[in-house]
Amino acid sequence: MEPISEDRRSFAMSSDELRRREGAFDRLGLSTIVAFAIASADLFAVHLPVLLAGIVCLATLVVASRVWLAAGNRRYAHTTWDVGDDTLTRIDARSVHEYQLNSIRHAQAKRNTAGVIREIKLSFDDGSAVYVNGLEDTESFWDFLSSRVTRASHVFVREPIDYDHPLFYVALGSVLGASISLIVRFAASAPHLSGHWVYVALAVYSFAVSVYWSRAKPISGRYGLGAITWDRATAAIAFVCFVGSTIAAAML
């Protein structure tokens, strides 16, 4: 955090927080793969080629996501938030976006179980929202911003569990891996019956994701307007999956 003047301050990103996120993803990805392999161990004798292909695909997805996360964090590390008398400015390597403080109608700070602010959500009069997280000094940012935003409501919420615990993402990955194994077992035991309902479920899920991503734009809301392409691409891919799954379900 670097002061610019008495009326304006600049807040930088925390490199420690970005490293924590990468470590959490590593634990999540590795535990998911290991849990899937262990939960499916008895199926290897019958469906060895299929399961090995599944593990390879899952590992490839995890590695590709990890590379994307690291690249995003390198760009995100150079982001700064400037708070002035009338404006809030987000500056990153790709864009500069300015928000009017008098258009903020709701400010919500989310605290973790240790009482530290993890993320701040700012809702605007036009219905859009911006998320601020990963700062070097989020508490000072909140205090300074709150002193400038007087017409907005200010709310604190607390996370119900400790997401920062080293074992949280290991446990989550284990649940995900075991769930994937159960889906594989169900599909293998009743291929004709399960195929139709799998496509129906995928169609419903894909449609929901497409609508949500089109409206909420969660990636650009957290990483700036320069990342809006990712929101649009995610919504488009989800919609294509919806169309394809609907056609596949109708044909079975």
pLDDT digits (tens, 9 = 90+) for 189-210: 665 555 667 677 777 888 888 8
pLDDT band of residue 241 (cuts 50, 70, 90) is: confident
Q: Which residue has the higher pLDDT, 248 or 153?
A: 153
Q: Across-strand partners of 135?
A: 13
More confident residue, 179 or 51: 179
Rounded Cα distance, 222 and 229, in Å: 13
Instruction: Say what the pLDDT of residue 194 is.
Output: 55
pLDDT of residue 182: 81
Does residue 6 contact residue 144 with C-beta atoms inside 8 Å? Answer: no
Q: In this model, does residue 139 exceed pLDDT 80? A: yes
**Two tokens, residue 195:** 């195929």
pLDDT at residue 225, rounded to an integer: 57
Question: Residue 229 above 90 pLDDT?
Answer: no
Q: What is the mean pLDDT of residues 129-134?
A: 89
User: Domain 1-189 class?
Assistant: mainly beta
Q: Taking 60 as the threshold, does the pLDDT of residue 2 lie above it?
A: no
Q: What is the pLDDT of residues 11-39, one digit of tens each?
A: 999 999 889 888 998 999 999 889 988 88
Contact 101, 149 (CB under 8 A): yes
Among 198, 207, 209, 214, residue whose Cα is nearest residue 248 = 198
Q: What is the mean pLDDT of residues 122-132?
A: 88
* HEC profile of 68-109: HHHHHHHHHCCCEEEECCCEEEEECCCCEEEEEHHHEEEEEE
Which residue has better confidence, 155 or 192?
155
Q: Give the residue extent of every domain in the chain.
A: 1-189, 191-252
Distance CA 99, CA 89 (A): 6
**Percent of the chain with pLDDT strictly greater than 90:** 32
Higher pLDDT, 135 or 217: 135
Does this model's pTM top 0.85? Answer: no
Supply the mean pLDDT for the chain. Answer: 82
Res. 3: pLDDT tops 50: no
User: 127: which DSSP letter?
Assistant: S
pLDDT, tens digit, for every residue of 71-103?
A: 878 888 888 999 998 999 999 877 888 999 999
Dmax (CA) for the chain in angstroms is 70
Average pLDDT for 105-129: 91
Q: What is the band of 142 on the pLDDT scale with cuts at 50, 70, 90?
A: very high
DSSP-derived letter for residue 159 is: -
Nearest Cα to Cα of residue 118 among 17, 23, 28: 17
